[in-house]
Amino acid sequence: MKRIEIRIRDAKEEELKRISDDMGLSLNLEEMKRIKRYFVAKKREPTDVELQSIAQAWSEHCCYKSSKRILQKFIFGIEAPQNMLVIKEDAGVVEFDEEHAYVVAFESHNHPSAVEPYGGAATGIGGIVRDVICMGAQPIALIDPLFFGQLSHPDEKLPVGIKHPRFLFNGVVSGIGDYGNRIGIPTCAGMVYFDDGYVGNCVVNVGCVGIMNKADLSRSWAKPGEVLVLVGGKTGRDGIHGVTFASVELTGEEESRSAVQVGDPITKEPLMHAISEANELGLISGMKDLGGGGLSCAVSEMSHAGGCGADVHLERVKLKEEGLDGWEIWVSESQERFLIAVSGDNVEGLLAIFDKWDIDAVVIGQTFKKRPQVRIFYEGERIFELDTDFLVACPIHERPKEIRKKEEEEVSIEEPKDYNEVLTWLLAAPNITSRESIIRQYDHEVRASTVLKPMQGVIGKQTHGDAAVIKPLEESYKGLAITSDVNPSFCKLNPFWGAASAIDEVCRNLTAVGAVPHSLADCLNFGNPEKPDRMGDFYECCRGLGYMASSLGVPFVSGNVSFYNESAAMDESIPPTPAVLGIGICEDGRECITVDVKEADGNLLYVMGETKAELGGSEYYRLRHVEGGIVPRTEPEVLMQSMNALREAMQAGLIASCHDLSEGGLGVAVCEMLLGGDIGASIDLAGVKPELRSDYKLFSESNTRWVVEVWREEKRRFEDWLKERKVYVTKIGETVGEKRVGICDGKKELVEISLEEVREAWGGEIC
C-alpha cells in the first residue's frame, strides 16, 4: 500500500475547495484552510488517510459543529434528580435500582434510508443496538419513530431521482422488522407520521433501551498501555463516507449508495453474547462501537478520552475484499464491529471467548503514554500521524438564524353539517388509522418481557396503547415504560410550542400507563443549517424542549442531531422534527393501566384537562384543508400537577382505563378506547368548555388531557380527589351495553355510529 500525499500547503482557495469536493470530504473552505495551517506548521503534506480522517471527525454528523452551542444553551446540563446516575457517552446510562441501570440511545438514519430504505433502516437498528451494548448493557427494547411523504402521493408529481414514499415506507418497515426480529430484541414502541414535507427526504429514527448491572459499566475510553482489539464483522467498502454523506443535502445520485452500510444480524447475535460474556468476566477495559467514521473516530475518540496515544496496524484488519486503500479501511463504516481496549494480561482470554462464539477478533494496535496522537502503519510504513487534540477539536459554527415571527389566531370555518362523516374520515386519516399492519411485522414479545404491548384490548379487536412497558429484570416487577412522539404539523407552524407539545405528549403517554417520566432522549431532524430559516427553527425547537424538560426536572440522557434533511430535487426542507423518546418508571408493572375500556353499562368517562380553541396543526384542520391557527400551548406546572393527580388516582384503584388525547382530539381518543374494549358509550360534551363550538370540543388537540374510565362505584371519590388537587376534570358520559358511539352536545346530536363502522374506518389500510 503506497503512502499518498495530498499537496495543500501551497494550494489556493479554489484548489482547497476542489480537494474537498474530489475526495468527498464535505468540508468548507474555512475548514480546509484550518487544516492547511496545521500542516504548514508541521512542515509536511497530509496523506489521503489523514484528510479523510479529519473529514470524518469534523463532519456535522460526528461533531455537531452547527448545533453544539444551541444544545449547550438549552438541552445539555438539565439537572437530574439527586442520586440519578447519568453517564452520557455512546448512550445514556441511568439508574434503575440500587444494582442496575438502564441504557438509552436514540439516533437517526435518514440519508441511508432515503437511498436504500431496507438496508438503511436495518443498519440504523444495528448501530443503535451497538451503542447500548458498548456501555455493557443487554438490549431489551427497540423504538422506531418514522416519517414519510403521503403514501398516496401522485407518481407524476414525484421529482426525478426521488423514490416514492410507499417504496421507502415498505423498505424501512421491512428492514427494521427483519433486523430486530433476527437478533431477538422486541420492537415495542414508535410512531409513523405522514406529511408531504418528507417526500424528498424520509426521516428514520431508531432507539434502543438496555439493562445492565452497574458493576458491568464499560466506558468509551482506552488507557495508556492497553491493547486495541477489533471484533465482529469484516471491513469492506460499504459505509465509506457515511457521516460526510449525512452532512450534506441529498442529491438523488446513485453513487451515494456506497455510503449505506450493509447490516448482518446473523453476526450481531453471537457478537452480543461474546461481548456480554467478556464484560461479565471483567476482560474489557473500554469499548466503542464502530458506527459513524469507523475506526477513524473510534480510535481517536477512545485514546483522546483516556489521555493517551495509539498505534494501529491496518494490515491486521480482516477485509471483506482485496484491494482496499488505507483510507478506505480506516473510515469504512462496515457494520457489526466494536473496538475493545484490554489489558495485556487479558488479551488471550478475550480472544478465546470470541473464538468460541465463532466471531473474528484481532489485535490491531496498542495505546501509549507519550504525546496524545494516533499513528497508523501499513506493513511497517507510517501512513498517518495526527494529534488527537486537533482531530477532535472540530470547528464550532455560529450559523445565522432567522426566527419566524408569526401572529397566530384561530381560523374561522363553518361548523360541519355531518359529524358522523367527519369523525369517520378522521379515524381513517393516515396519521390516525390503525398501525397494526406495521406492528405485526415486528416481534414485540420476544424475550417474554413486554408487559404492556403496543396493541391493547380484547384479543382480535385491539387498539393502540399509549406506551409499552418492559419488565427488564427476572427477579423484580419494576418496569420501564417507553414511548416516542412529536407532531411535526405543530412544529411547522410554531417550532417552540410544537417542541414543547412533543414533551407534553411523551409525558401524557407515560402517565397514561401509570409511569413516572424519568428521562428523555431527542432526535433532532432538520434541514440545511446553512440556511437561516432552518437554523431558526432548530433554535426555537431546542428552546421549547429545554423549557419543558428543565421545568419538569426530567433530563435528556441521549440524543442526536440530523441536519441537511432536504433534497436538491424538492428544494425544500422537511418539517422541523424534534422526535422525543421518553422513559418512565413503573414501580410494579402488574398495576399498569391500559387504554381499552373495561366494562359496559355504567362505568363513567371523564376528560382530565382543559379543552381550548387550539386547532392549528390539527388533523381536523388538515381534513378541512385549513392552514394556520393556534398551536396548542402547554404549562409544565399544570402538566406536573395533573400527572401526579392521575397517577395517585390510579394507585388508589379509581381508574379502569386511560388514554391521552392527541391526533384527532376527544372524538378519536374515545373511539380508540371503545374499540379496544369492544364496548359502546354515550357521550355528552355539554360540560366541556360550554362556550366552545361542538367541533372544537370534539377535535381540538389541546395538551395535558386524558380520557379516563372510572369505576362507577368510585364516581364521588374520583371527583373529590381531582377537586382537592385542583385538576380540571369534566364528566362526558358512560359506557353502554350497545356497541355504538353516541355523541351529543347538550340537546344537539352530533354522532351516532356503530362500533363496527368505527372499526371499519379506523382499521383500514394505511394510504
List, by residue number, the catalytic residues. Answer: 61, 109
Per DSSP, 10 falls in state: T
Neighbours of 14 (CB within 10 A): 9
Distances (CA, A) of 462 to 85, 177, 597, 664, 760: 37, 20, 11, 19, 13
Block residue for cell numbers 434528580: 81
Q: Is residue 667 a contact partner of residue 698, using CB atoms and an 8 Å limit?
A: yes
Chain-centroid distance, C-alpha 495:
18
End-to-end CA distance of the chain: 53
Neighbours of 257 (CB within 10 A): 14
- Residue partners of 571: CB distance under 8 A and separation at least 6: none
Distances (CA, A) of 265 to 124, 210, 317: 12, 18, 21
Rounded CA separation 199/570 (Å): 8
155: burial class by Cβ within 10 Å (0-12, 13-18, 19+)?
Answer: exposed
Q: How many residues does the chain have?
A: 767
Strand partners, 232: 337
Angle at 585 between CA 542 and CA 100, to 5 degrees: 105
Block residue for cell numbers 495526527: 386
Distances (CA, A) of 420 to 173, 434, 668, 669: 33, 19, 12, 15
Which residue blocks in 64-116 are alpha helix, DSSP H?
68-74, 110-115
Cell of 472: 427488564
Rounded CA separation 92/106 (Å): 9
Neighbours of 33 (CB within 10 A): 15
Residue in 478, 477, 518, 522 with CA at minimum distance from that of residue 85 = 518
Q: Annotate 37-74 with three-state secondary structure.
A: HHHHHHCCCCEHHHHHHHHHHCCHHHHCCCCHHHHHHH
Cell of 303: 485514546
Which residue blocks in 494-635 are alpha helix, DSSP H?
495-512, 532-552, 619-623
Strand order of the β-sheet with 577-586 is 450-452, 468-470, 479-485, 577-586, 516-525, 556-562
Say whether 28 sits in a helix, a strand or coil.
coil
Q: Is residue 614 a contact partner of residue 630, using CB atoms and an 8 Å limit?
A: yes
